[in-house]
Amino acid sequence: MARRTKDERRRDYLDIGVDLVAESTAAHPDPGLALAHVRIAEVAERAGVTKGALYHVWDSQEDYWHDLLEFMLAEGLLRGLGDLPDLTVELSEMVQALPTLTEWANFVFDRFKDDPTFFARIGMFAYLQDDELRASLDQEFRASLERFESMVALAVSRVGRRIRPGLHVRDLAVSSSALMQGLCMEYRVDSARTPDLVVDGQRVSLFAASMEALVETFTEPIPEGDGA
């Protein structure tokens, strides 16, 4: 059998890293940035080589993490963090199924508050200061925001409202996304920080209550007879 080239061995080690990222995301309830759980020693053990073999390719653990993240971005492997579902399909379907904004927002918060893959993606923000990775991360985050934007637009129209003149649905999507990320982080630190409310006998998550306020600020009722 022909000896594998350095580039082929590098690809092998990175493929193992992707597997370990997915496994660590499932194993750690608070994964933060899942890359932090991938150690060169474990990669070497999986590959059946010594740690020195990897240090011939990378100078340090941090260099390996950097290349692993670049590799995942370049290969479209961020889904390796746990098969993140297509939010546009899943949550847009729920907009149609749930009659009120509160019920939909409750569903969205419940969907993400205990999802380790969601927190692994949030952890990617830690790398935004890296100029070499910023462009790739920005592209990934923009794609996620576009999916969330279409979901928010559908939720708004579903309750008979439209974006106020001078504003854009992107403004509401950015605010809603940041709110969800923050409240989910608060929940993971201490669930008592995000208590459910009860309004007229109905459960209202803190995210749902906040979404109601955001929608009231960013949108206005669609006048009768106006299909816009």
Q: What is the pLDDT of residue 7?
A: 87
8 Å CB contact between 81 and 25 = yes
Are 70 and 125 contained in the same domain? no
In a domain, 226, yes or no: no
Give the percent of the chain with pLDDT over 90: 36
Q: Which of 81, 112, 138 is the last residue of a domain?
A: 81
Are 124 and 27 contained in the same domain? no
Q: How many domains does the chain have?
A: 2
pTM equals 0.67
In a domain, 183, yes or no: yes
Say whether pLDDT at 164 is over 60. Answer: yes
Measure the CA–CA gap between 95 and 155, rounded to whole angstroms: 6
User: For the segment 29-65, what is each residue's pLDDT rounded down to a tens digit?
Assistant: 444 456 777 899 999 999 999 999 999 999 998 889 8
Task: Indicate the pLDDT class of residue 79, thresholds 50, 70 and 90.
Answer: very low
8 Å CB contact between 120 and 34 = yes
Q: Which two tokens stand for residue 212?
A: 């109601």
Q: How far is CA 104 from CA 108, 166, 212, in A?
A: 6, 26, 11
Are 66 and 93 contained in the same domain? no
Eight-class DSSP state of 62: H
Decide: helix, strand or coil at residue 224.
coil
Measure the CA–CA gap between 16 and 20, rounded to whole angstroms: 6
The CATH number of the domain holding residue 191 is 1.10.357
Give the percent of the chain with pLDDT over 70: 78
Range of the domain at 29: 6-81
Q: Which two tokens stand for residue 100?
A: 């009120």
DSSP per-residue letters across 86-138: -HHHHHHHHHHH--SHHHHHHHHHHHHTT-HHHHHHHHGGGGTT-HHHHHHHH
8 Å CB contact between 43 and 64 = yes
8 Å CB contact between 9 and 57 = yes
Smallest CA-to-CA distance from 222 within 149, 170, 163 is with 163
In a domain, 1, yes or no: no
User: How many CA atoms lie less than 13 Å away from 51 in the CB half-sphere?
Assistant: 7
Measure the CA–CA gap between 6 and 126, rounded to whole angstroms: 30
Are 135 and 150 contained in the same domain? yes
How much is the CA Rg of the chain, to the nearest whole Å? 21
